[in-house]
Structure 1
Amino acid sequence: MKEKWFKNTSSFIPVKYHVLFWTGYFTFNVIRWGSYFNDYWYSLKSNLVEFPLHIILVYINIYYLIPKFILTKKYITYITLFLGFLFVLYSARTGLNYVLVTENIWPEAESQQQAFTFNHIIAVTLGEIYVVALATAIKLTADWIYERKRNEDLQKIQLKTELKFLKSQIQPHFFFNTLNNLYALTLEKSDVAPEVVLKLSDIMQHVLYDMKEPLVRLFDVIRYIQNYLDLERLRYGDKIISTIEIIGEIEDVKVPPLLFLPFIENSFKHGVKNVEHFKVNITFENMDNKYLNFTVENAIDEQQNINNTSNHGIGNHNVKRRLELLFKDNFELKTYIANGNYCVQLKIPIQ
């Protein structure tokens, strides 16, 4: 399919703004030259002849010459065609003014001038270039604003899409682990299996509904984490010792869903099998309603290579990437060893 002339692939400026621009510019020109010659009737007639030609050249330049030749780096072709259009416009303008307005084709000159002389051609074409440059500058500015907004919108869509993808990766991982726990209990014909089903149902309700929201109540998140800890305790029995400590008011605090669970999951994944008694301590601290400090500590095997933190799972790329998307540089994530415990500390702004 051949490309159509005057096809605008940039910003769309409503017709009313084109009309307002040319009406305002025409009025200004009539008053300006009418005052200069002290003859407003002559100024009106000459502008009625010239302005349609201005408009034609401006739109040819904006919607055809620039997209087809400037954007494709065919500069010599652009200059050649533009000069050709300028000459055609000069000829048409000069002829129409002579026939319809006045035989004095250059009234602002000090003496009577002839058409198609060097000085007259330069004077007329410079005036046309001024009009074209002004209109083109306005159009390119509108295109720049439009393109910047479009890029910002695309970036927002990309970030939302990536966040949804990362969250979708977390959910199957969690349910896979939980179903494994339930499977182990059913093999043992444990009486606590029904309780596991109830807690899993509560967690599924949280995931299905809260995951659609950008922010959820921290109170609900903590209840969700408590259910997870209960499920792990049902699986491992007295081997699990867990605490959740809350410092400060959290009633009005909201956080992104499923942000903290991966850290707790990793604690069980890499710690519970290697110690006789697995202790995990979780803390949520409201720091003056500005930041939320989340800490999780769990016991580790002394024989474990404590220097290899990536094996502990906290180096999970998805978690870090999600934090970057959510908070950019406004968060702190630390992992360290203290008193035989592996510690993760996450500080995020309260939203």
Structure 2
Amino acid sequence: MNRIKKVFTLLHIVLWILFSLVIALQHSQDTAHWFILTVDVLLTSLYVFYSHFYLLTRLSGKRKRGTYYLRLAAILWSGPLLYVLLHYKKLDTFDLFSEYYFISLISLVVPFIFLSWLAKVTENLVLNTIRKEQLEKQAVEAELYYLKSQINPHFLFNTLNNIHTLVYKQAPAAPEAVLRLSSLMRYMIYESNAATVPLEREIKYLLDYVSLQQLRYKKSPVVDLKVEGDATSCYIAPLLFIHLLENAYKHSPARLEPGDVKVTMEINDHTLTLSIQNPVGKNGGNALESPGGIGLPNVRKRLALLYPDQYSLETRQLGGLFTVLLNIQGLHRPPNHAKTYLLYH
């Protein structure tokens, strides 16, 4: 907001310089006369413009209208008087004084009162628009933060218990499990704070999650995860797929056979298609849509905020299998947010 105000200040300075040059470049044989005229017009214009501009800034609101009109009348009276006294030091008659007074009132004072009103209205319009956009942006960021924070915390405790069991049994898989949990937590706490992350990093996060979940199963691997296409040039909002994968585990039967949960990700020309298919357990049904669940509703809200008109999300249940199909377009590197919001910060 301070940056915008500085831009308006600079604009005022530039326009006043240009206005002074326009007056000064009016040629006359009497150079001294035009110099005095330029100074008089500039001083009177500055006085009228910023006196009224100040009134509009300080005396806004219905309760202050009376004070505003009184001071506006004072500006209308004193503006022409200042110009006439500065420019015409010797006026022989009252009629001559009145004539120049009303000429300066109509040609100089009234136009600059209007210009100051126009400048204030424009400034208020721009600042209010930016404030509104900032509030909307903050609201979106707050909602995204809330949605992102809803990742199931029970996963962490279950994983720690599984790792404790591995360590107690001195299993060879224990060190690898600790490293994967460390990578997963580092991504969740630090890296996912960015607006977007490389898609290949999000995929690695899913692989770490699948590996840690696999500690619950003796048969491996229960998840068949395939990635097709080039993920190196794509960027995605972080933690966008994890709810879908969590629910695939949650609403599958307690005993899973190898490859029962199928995850397929296809990347083609900055378009991503994700398919997650899992068998439906006794407590399953359309569990993602259940009132107490946060999986699919969470993902839908984030997609609507992050990728409006760029995604489709479908679910279907057929033959004991539940499938989620997600399509997102435009997964290219986003423009520099510092430049996009340069005027807003």
Which range, TM-score by smaller chain?
0.7 to 0.9
Larger Rg: 1
Superposed counterparts of 1:136-215, under 5 Å = 136-153=117-134, 155-170=136-151, 172=153, 174-182=155-163, 185=165, 191=171, 194=174, 195-215=176-196
From 131, 136, 139, give the equivalent of 2:112.
131
User: Which residue does the alignment assign to 1:83?
Assistant: 73
**1:45 paired to 2:36:** yes
Would the aligned equivalents of 1:294 and 1:347 in 2 still touch at CA under 8 Å? yes
- SS of alignment partner, residue 132 of structure 1: helix
From 93, 97, 110, give the equivalent of 1:115.
97
TM-score of the two chains, using structure 2 as the length reference: 0.76
**1:54 paired to 2:48:** no
**Amino acid of the residue matched to residue 294 of structure 1?**
L
**Identical pairs, percent:** 26
| Deviation (angstroms), 1:26 | 2.5
For 2:68 and 2:40, locate their aligned partners in 1 and report how far apart those are by CA, in whole Å.
Answer: 26
User: Which residue does the alignment assign to 2:250?
Assistant: 269
**Amino acid of the residue matched to residue 326 of structure 1?**
L
Once the two structures are superposed, what CA deviation does each residue of 1:199-231 show, in whole Å capped at 9, x if it has no partner?
A: 323423443553244433333433332332233
Once the two structures are superposed, what CA deviation does each residue of 1:279-334 show, in whole Å capped at 9, x if it has no partner?
A: 211010113x1310111111013785448832583655443332233223322222
Over 3 Å counting, the alpha-carbon distance change for 1:93 and 1:198 in structure 2 is: closer
**Amino acid of the residue matched to residue 15 of structure 2?**
F
Once the two structures are superposed, what CA deviation does each residue of 1:8-54 show, in whole Å capped at 9, x if it has no partner?
A: 9x82457665444333213323445x56xx76543432342343222
Would the aligned equivalents of 1:246 and 1:285 in 2 still touch at CA under 8 Å? yes
For 1:44 and 1:104, locate their aligned partners in 2 and report how far apart those are by CA, in whole Å.
Answer: 23
TM-score of the two chains, using structure 1 as the length reference: 0.75
For 2:92 and 2:30, locate their aligned partners in 1 and report how far apart those are by CA, in whole Å.
Answer: 14
Q: Larger deviation: 52-61 or 318-327?
A: 318-327
User: Which residue does the alignment assign to 2:342?
Assistant: none
Unmatched tracts of structure 2, length 5 or more? 333-345
Over 3 Å counting, the alpha-carbon distance change for 1:293 and 1:86 in structure 2 is: same
Would the aligned equivalents of 1:293 and 1:348 in 2 still touch at CA under 8 Å? yes
From 221, 240, 248, give the equivalent of 2:229.
248
Q: Larger deviation: 339-348 or 216-225?
A: 216-225
Question: Superposition RMSD on alpha carbons, in Å?
Answer: 3.7
Unmatched tracts of structure 1, length 5 or more? 1-7, 106-111
User: Which residue does the alignment assign to 2:280?
Assistant: 300
- SS of alignment partner, residue 116 of structure 1: helix
Kindly tell me the number of residue pairs found equivalent between the two proteins.
326
For 1:205 and 1:276, locate their aligned partners in 2 and report how far apart those are by CA, in whole Å.
Answer: 29
Higher relative contact order (CA 8 A, sep 6+): 2
Once the two structures are superposed, what CA deviation does each residue of 1:147-203 show, in whole Å capped at 9, x if it has no partner?
A: 4445445544554454344434437454244335446x4699584772533432342
**1:21 paired to 2:15:** yes
Would the aligned equivalents of 2:180 and 2:212 in 1 still touch at CA under 8 Å? yes
